[in-house]
Amino acid sequence: MAGVRAPWWATIYVLVPIFSGFVWLGMLLGMLLWWAVGKHKAHLSPMEPSQHISYISDIGALELQPLFISMGTVTVVSFTSVFVTERWLRHRGTIARNTSSFQKLLSVLATLFAIAGMIGLIILTCRNNVDYSNVHDACLVVFIAGYIISAIFVCWEYQRLGFHYRDHRILRVSFWLKLAFIVVELSLAIAFAVLGKQDRYNAAAVCEWIVAFIYTFYVWSYAIDFIPAVRTEHYASKETVVAMAESSKTASRMGGYPDGVGQEEAALGATDGIRGQQPRYF
């Protein structure tokens, strides 16, 4: 919208998931480099005798546990706030509104399972796999399952939204990104569990690291969802909207449409009807 600027704080919607993703990525790289470079890929005490590649939890159980707890907590708390913010923005109409109570239910379920995943990660970082192995493993399942199920509900919601907002390409892009996350992460999580049961610890560790790194891109995908929230038309004053409507009406009259914008749009609609139907998106 010409002459209208979005307030500076509107960019926070986009920056929060970006921030969350970078905190998570920084934590993973810090832990991986500490083991691979700082410790020269040493065999850590939590590792199995035949294991040569460390699990994330093996590293997080030692001197880097404070980093594991703090950065992991910052990541999931800030990321979970994204779900709450998205629900609020859809309610306000800043981004595409939910068109049914069922869509709102899907959004709420996605948020609840994200909260479950958040709690799972926070507890597993505090309860290491050496002193609290059973609790740690259970919380790992809650963390992974929580976010995968949450992503399923998000995709379901976006799929329903897509029927009503066919011209919103961001919904389509976000839907496919999150669907890819579900398929890949679920496959890797199953492989991780099966390989661990088969005592193939090195292959399982590789799967775990890949799952963790892919989670970064899932978090970042939510920045795309908030792009419409920083568009200037959401922050125009009522006076500006009225003035621009009057300007459009005047321009339409000068263009040969005495009844203003409505007559012009009707004429254009009739022309479009002759040319054919509008393309359908999503």
DSSP output for 1-68 = -TT----GGGGHHHHHHHHHHHHHHHHHHHHHHIIIIISTT---TTS-TT--S--HHHHHTTTTHHHH
181 and 253 inside one domain: no
pLDDT at 12: 87
Domain residues for the domain of 201 are 11-233
6 domain residue, yes or no: no
pLDDT at 206: 97
For the chain, what is the domain count? 2
| Phi-psi map region of 280: left, alpha, beta (phi>0 left; psi -120 to 50 alpha) | beta
44 domain residue, yes or no: yes
Q: Splitting the chain (282 residues) into consecutive groups of 10 residues, what average pLDDT does each group show?
A: 56 93 97 94 91 94 95 97 92 86 95 97 94 94 96 94 83 91 95 95 96 96 88 49 50 53 52 47 39
180 domain residue, yes or no: yes
90 and 201 inside one domain: yes
pLDDT at 4: 47
pLDDT at 253: 55
213 and 271 inside one domain: no
143 and 268 inside one domain: no
143 and 59 inside one domain: yes
206 and 135 inside one domain: yes
How far is Cα 97 from Cα 103, in angstroms, rounded to an integer?
A: 10
Instruction: Spell out the residues 6+ positions from residue 65 whose beta carbon is closer than 8 angstroms to its own.
Output: 125, 128
247 and 114 inside one domain: no
- pTM of the predicted protein model: 0.79
2 domain residue, yes or no: no
Nearest to 141 by CA among 190, 180, 107, 182: 190
212 domain residue, yes or no: yes
How far is Cα 113 from Cα 140, in angstroms, rounded to an integer?
A: 14
280 domain residue, yes or no: no
52-58, Cβ contacts within 8 angstroms, sequence gap of 24 or more: 52/202, 53/201, 53/202, 53/205, 53/206, 54/205, 55/129, 55/201, 55/204, 55/205, 55/208, 56/28, 56/31, 56/208, 56/209, 56/212, 57/124, 57/128, 57/129, 57/136, 57/140, 58/129
187 and 254 inside one domain: no
Half-sphere exposure (CA, 13 Å, Cβ side) for 53? 13
98 and 118 inside one domain: yes
99 and 166 inside one domain: yes
Scan for tokens 């919904």, then name that residue: 171
256 and 122 inside one domain: no
Query: What number of other Cβ atoms are within 10 A of residue 31's Cβ?
Result: 22
4 domain residue, yes or no: no
84 and 168 inside one domain: yes
84 domain residue, yes or no: yes
pLDDT at 230: 81
pLDDT at 227: 86
